[in-house]
Copies of this chain bind each other. A is one copy, B any other.
């Protein structure tokens, strides 16, 4: 299986014919046909079969196309990435809650203060150690991460509580995507309380889960200082459970001192500054349009 074979497959699939793909690639028709034949042999699937309207994808071909497209695009990107002149970027990954509330403003402020070019990403807690050791990320924000070569440093102590509307239902639990991360704080809480899966409803994000809770749809786990405003206004009240309030800490995890980059050190230093703590305590102000960069989803292979 070769990058150019995958490229030929992608072109044929998109253009609907071997001939058109050959023209687009600037090679002869059999060249494309053979690349395709070899890929078919290697993968054991016809991938594309001829039909009246042109070449049409098989089931396997359909599943392959997305992956192949990405591989081809990344191959082109790889060549561009090593060219000099691009600044080194610091990669900060965060688990669900921190990615939603804290990572964006924090990294934005860091970039502003230190003239850096850091980007944020979301990742499952379980993948973080591997992301760090494989150098795909420089800093991981989330729970403490054990592991050889890893150093976790607490960056904020906070309390995990359960909230609901004053007269809302108490039979359902409302969580954001981070509630499905078994290693995250919300996931641990639900497990401690033995909440059955059928009583958990997942929302597109944590804020939406809190909004639903405020409207009386159920109970939501929450980091105390992030819902302080809603509690003060009476939209949400704290609900007593066997496990809350639970003291949790947010950690920043990096590689050992010698192995991590200078930028990672700079970010760690930044995290101890008062303004960074301030942002983590009340991060609800958004970030300026000019500094916004959409977060990426980071994952590794299994």
> A residues touching B (Cβ–Cβ < 8 Å)?
1-3, 6, 10, 13-14, 43-45, 47, 53, 57, 59-79, 81-84, 86, 88-89, 91, 99-101, 104, 133-136, 174, 177, 179-180, 197-198, 200-205, 207-209, 211-212, 215, 217, 229, 258-259, 261, 284-290, 292, 294-297, 300-302
Decide if B208 touches A284 in the complex (CB within 8 Å).
yes
CA of A70 to CA of B302, assembled, Å: 6
Q: Which of B88, B99, B180, B209 contacts A62 (CB 8 A)?
A: B88
A2 neighbours in B (Cβ, 8 Å): 2-3
- Assuming the A-B contacts A78-B6, A198-B288, are A204 and B205 also in contact, with contact meaning beta carbons closer than 8 angstroms in the complex? yes
Decide if B60 touches A81 in the complex (CB within 8 Å).
yes
Decide if A135 touches B215 in the complex (CB within 8 Å).
no
28 pairs, A vs B, C-beta closer than 8 Å: A1-B75, A13-B134, A13-B135, A43-B82, A59-B84, A60-B82, A61-B82, A62-B135, A62-B261, A66-B135, A67-B78, A70-B74, A71-B78, A73-B301, A73-B302, A77-B302, A177-B292, A197-B288, A201-B285, A201-B287, A202-B287, A202-B289, A203-B287, A204-B205, A205-B205, A207-B211, A212-B285, A215-B284
Decide if A65 touches B301 in the complex (CB within 8 Å).
no
Minimum-distance CB pairs A-B, first 5: A73-B301, A201-B286, A200-B289, A60-B82, A202-B292
Q: Which residue of B lies closest to A287 (CB)?
A: B202
CA of A148 to CA of B61, assembled, Å: 23
CA of A61 to CA of B78, assembled, Å: 10
Decide if A76 touches B301 in the complex (CB within 8 Å).
yes
Decide if B66 touches A136 in the complex (CB within 8 Å).
yes
CA of A212 to CA of B10, assembled, Å: 44
CA of A229 to CA of B235, assembled, Å: 13
